[in-house]
Structures are given as structure tokens and as C-alpha cells.
Structure 1
Amino acid sequence: MRVTDEMLDLLEPVRDLCVADLLAGMGEALNDGGEVDAEPVDRDADGHIRRAPPLNLPRRHDFSVRAHGATILRRTSGRAALRFAPVTTAVDDRAAARIAPFDWAAADIHLVWDGPGAPDWTPLRRWYLEWFQARFGEESPDLLGVVHALHGPRADAAGWRVTVDLGSCSVRGFGAMLAALARAGFRDIRIGETEDAL
């Protein structure tokens, strides 16, 4: 999906708030004398990448700090979502997304499902794995431009629900996520404080 100027104006401040928290946490750790690694992949004690069901996806931590011979994995605390009036945007010629205030590091997504059988989650999984890969950019040069985690999908009364930690992913990556959900067959995508609209 093409990310419009209106979507950039809406979503960049949401992303900026999350990224600012992440950079502030890293800065504090550096000031305390630690060695900081931005957005490391979650690994087990043997160095193997951990993967989480049901989509068998890896995840990232916000950052790690090495000090006094030990490495500690850190997650920023996050803040309340920025307030804005919910907006609806076309994803393609069949699907639309309603975007209400949400936390970039914990985007709650409701997916209304009226198709036969279960959705094909392959497009979402492919989107995640693509945007899990480091892609340095001018938006946040000290970060990797990646998603951190995807929880779900899990069934709910309206269809399905996922929660995505978008990490330092760009707004363009957010648009690519919406397009992936549309390719999965969802026509009604609701992000953020949308329970009253179900």
C-alpha cells in the first residue's frame, strides 16, 4: 500500500515517541558506562535464535547492556498512546483499516474475518520476516529499522487478533503490514482503541 502524506503525518509522531524512549534508554545505559547493542535478536544460552509459536517467528529485544562482565536485556517502559481522532484509510480496493490511538511498541490489531475456513497467515509472516531484517536509514541512524515481535494470531469474537511490537520499523513498514493483512484476506483491519467499533 502506498503510504500517503496524511498517514505519515498521523503515524510518524506515534513512532517517534516509541523511538525516543528507546534511544533515551540506550543513552542512559551508555552514560552509566555500559556497552549497548541496539535491538539484538533473542537467542538461547547456546546462541540459537528463539522462535515463538504459532507462526514460528523470531523476536528482538529493545537493547542489551554489557557491564561488569554481564549482559542484561532491556525493554523500555513505553508511554501512553498519543491522542488523535480515529481515521479510516483504504488499504487496497477491497480492504480498509481503521486506525485509533495505539502504542507503536504494542499495536493491538483486530482483524474481522468473514471468509470460509481460517485465514492464510503467510503474507503476514513474510512481512514480519522481511521487516525483521536490519535496514538502516536516515529516520533513526542509531537503530536498525526493524520490527521486534508479533504475538498471535489468536481467535476472538470478531475474528482474529495480533499484537505487534513495531520497534524501530518505519511508517513505510507499517503500510506494508496493512497490505500483508489485506493479502491474507482481511477486509476490515482495526488498530488501537477499537473495541467500541466491534
Structure 2
Amino acid sequence: MNSLISKVRLVAGAAVSAALVVSAPLTVAAPAAAQSSGDLAQAVSALRGISTLRANFVQTDRNGKRLGGVLTLKRPGKIRFQYEKGVPILVVSDGSALTFVDYSVRQVQRWPIRNSPLGALLDPNRDVMKYGKLVPVGNPNVVGIEVRDKSHPEYGVITMMFVRKASAPAGLELSSWASLDSQNNRTVINLSGHQYGAAVPDNTFRYNDPRGAARR
């Protein structure tokens, strides 16, 4: 179990950073030649069209280690990664702060979103510092977007994949994303069982503080 927890600690931050990028508007850069600017605009519309989303996820690290769970997203900026039973880790954002909770060691880490590189994406009133561009994928039914902050390469790169699906927002469904950090740690998140638009109460994005404080 200790090795499993170590794996989760390593990749959970990258996974949630990717999710937060997904939950926010993108500023788009020039499209790749293999795809059209219409595809890029459609993908951005698909992201903006998600009010709430629940989906199963499978997280895979660069060594092939896999963990599953349920992702809950509520725009703007609210995310919950509920890992499978037996994994004492929770990653959650309430829209103002990103929180990593490790119940095995009673540790809580919080990062203020609006004062972080993620803030520009989560707050539409701020200048967007991230850029998205199309990446060639070789499949007409798949649209790929790469997102990075060019002024801060240490933040890594996130590549999102959408499949064409008529019932999804704007006709595209986010099927997976891959995040690569500055240490070349690669994490892939695959989604399935998408449910859009369901009512999600804000207390979904609270957590039980293992340090003995009241529920946050």
C-alpha cells in the first residue's frame, strides 16, 4: 500500500492540474495543418459547454501503474477526484483552492488557485496565460489539443483528446488527457461513462479534514 500511495502522490497533482485546465476556457493558438480551425473552436466550445460532469476515470503513470475512481467536475473550477476504495487520497478543488488530502498521514496541502498559474484559466476576468493548439492525431473522429504556458515551461504540458459524439457538448466528448511535468513524469487519464448536466451540490467539493478540524 505504501508504494501505491507514493504513486498517487506523484501523479495526482498532475492529474488535477489537467482537470482544472479542462474546466476552464482556453485561448487558442494557430491550428496544426492536419486539422482545421473549426475543430479547434469546436473543442473549446465543448469544454465551455460542460456545466457539470461525472465520469469514471483510470489514471496511468509512466510505469503503467493504474488507479481508478470517479471524477466530478462543476464549472467554474470545482473538481473532485475520488479514488477507488483502499486508496486514502483525495484531490479536490472548491473553486478557490486546490487541496490534496492524504488520510494515511493526516496531511492536507492547499494551493490558492487565483494566485497560481491555474488562476488565469479559472477566472474569466483575468488574462489567459495558457494557450491551446491543435495536434495531429491521424484520426478524423478524434481532435487533439495541446495546452501549455509558454512563459513557464516548468509547468509542463497537457494534451487533451476529444472524440466526435453527437450527444456531447458541441459534438465532442473529452475522452482522455495526458500531462507531462518538467521531470518527464507522464500521467494519462482516460474517462468513460460520461454524465452531463446532473445537479451537483457544492458540498461535493468539501472534504473531511484528517487533522481533526471540522468538515471543509
More strand by share: 2
- TM-score tier (shorter): under 0.3
TM-score (norm 1): 0.26
More helix by share: 1
TM-score (norm 2): 0.24
